[in-house]
Homo-oligomer: A and B are copies of this chain.
Amino acid sequence: MNIANKLIEFAFGEKDLPVNAAHILNLSILDWVSVSLSGVSEPVSKIVRECFLEEGGHPEAFVLGSNKKAPSRLAALINGTTSHALDYDDTHFASLGHPSVAVMPAALAISDRVGSDLMAFKRASLIGMEVATRVGIWLGRGHYRKGFHVTATAGTFGATVAASLLLGLNERQFKMALGLAASRAAGIKAQFGTMGKPFHAGTAASNGVEVSLLAYRGFVSSEDGFGGPQGFGHTHDTEDNTTVFDTLGSKYIFEGVSHKFHACCHGLHAGMEALIELRNKNSVKPKDVEEIEIIVHPQYLNVCNILSPETGLETKFSYRFTAAMVMHGIDTARLESFSDISCRDFALTETCNKVLVRTDSSLSETSAKVSLVTKSGESLTNDYDLAKLINPAMREAKVLAKSNSLLGKNRTKEIWSYIATEQVNPMPVSQALFDYS
């Protein structure tokens, strides 16, 4: 059986969503809405939005940052880019991709186009994100190391699955959509650090919408453009981990997705979490601190170890400064907390100057150790590993807190009530999630 057939069998076979997967999905939806709305003023969001809204067209699907609808292919392009603009969305470390920003904008665009409700959107999104995750693992480390951006490549297939489900494609059309997606999936890591990176999320989403609409019209593509000869996997250096598809339908690998709880470089997060736990457990105040030591994997030293940041952007790449922010109880989920002004705050810089950073290559890339010596000579230690999944209730509390920081409590509460309910809600998806009607 070719891989496309396995994906289609899975997509058509899933009726009821497993409870835990559905819960993590709900958190990812809320998280996606929060970071999307927070990203609308970023330069890349404005450029893509203004450039393509200029095209005009029929008002099919909601466009983030505008008070407009646009053709669904276009809405997906703008919304995908906008939702990845801050790089504050979820990450799946096993597949090395960002699933929500590629899949959900495609699902939203088609939901708005065909009038799907939130339940259909959720189902298509979950199945699409599971496919994006598995395809990312199938492509493997070699694909990523060579320079392909998994969010763009695997993301296109996930977006295609979500869009095709919501369009109601039959099996033949579904296969043609996946076959054609193999000719549109693209994106290279040379774009990291540029607007090209968030744009990849937009192109993945838009590709999924495009190929699904064409398949619906009868477009004929390669039967096995995905895994077959001269197909996507072969040309794009898949490691061909085909066993990853064996458990499709029996468990959701997507559940292992990580949400970002601090609006700064991911390399800082393990150390920050370790320090937050240590601070809370021992009720340490900034004035009690004699010295803090953070120990991390050496690969991060040239990524996020700016010793004395002078701008808000630089604080997002500073172990020392973010440790000080943690000790002073600053809300690191808020974008505004990372400001130019904070760099000149006397109390913060004083604490910052008490922090040392060391490396230990025996640590995993996702973990960190911290030790804190108090003025009274007490020595406290803690460690944290981002790969260790936190329990669902705690994860929910953290995602809701992040959303509270970004959107405010009232809006978060309202959206969450729509997302978390199992009641049928006939409200259009863009109305429920973005208050747009």
A contact set with B: CB distance below 8 Å: 43-44, 47-48, 50-52, 54-58, 71, 73-74, 146-149, 152, 179-180, 182-192, 194-196, 199-200, 203, 213-214, 216-222, 224-225, 228-232, 234-235
Contacts and interface: CB of A to CB of B under 8 A. Distances in A.
B47 A58 contact: no
A227 to B, nearest CB: 10
Most buried by B among A222, A224, A232: A222
A57 B47 CA distance: 19
Given A186-B184, A186-B186, A199-B183, A147 B51 contact: no
16 contacts: A44-B219, A47-B214, A48-B214, A51-B216, A51-B219, A52-B73, A55-B74, A57-B71, A147-B235, A179-B191, A179-B194, A182-B188, A183-B203, A184-B203, A188-B231, A192-B230
Given A148-B235, A220-B194, A221-B194, A183 B187 contact: yes
B57 A222 contact: no
Given A54-B58, A180-B196, A183-B152, A191 B147 contact: no
Nearest to A143: B235
A189 to B, nearest CB: 4
B195 A191 contact: no
Report, nearest first, the 10 A-B pairs whose CB atoms are least far apart.
A147-B230, A186-B186, A57-B57, A55-B71, A190-B222, A147-B235, A189-B230, A190-B231, A56-B57, A56-B58
B235 A221 contact: no
A196 B213 contact: no
A168 B98 CA distance: 36
A218 B146 contact: no
Nearest to A156: B186
A183 B183 contact: no
Contacts of A43: 218
Nearest to A237: B235
B229 A190 contact: yes
A54 B71 CA distance: 9
A222 B188 CA distance: 10
Contact of A217 (B51, B196, B219): B51
A151 to B, nearest CB: 11
A128 B73 CA distance: 27
A188 B220 contact: no
B185 A186 contact: yes
B191 A222 contact: yes
A305 to B, nearest CB: 22
B217 A50 contact: yes
Nearest to A54: B58
Given A56-B56, A179-B196, 9 more contacts: A54-B58, A55-B57, A55-B73, A183-B191, A184-B186, A190-B232, A192-B230, A195-B219, A195-B221
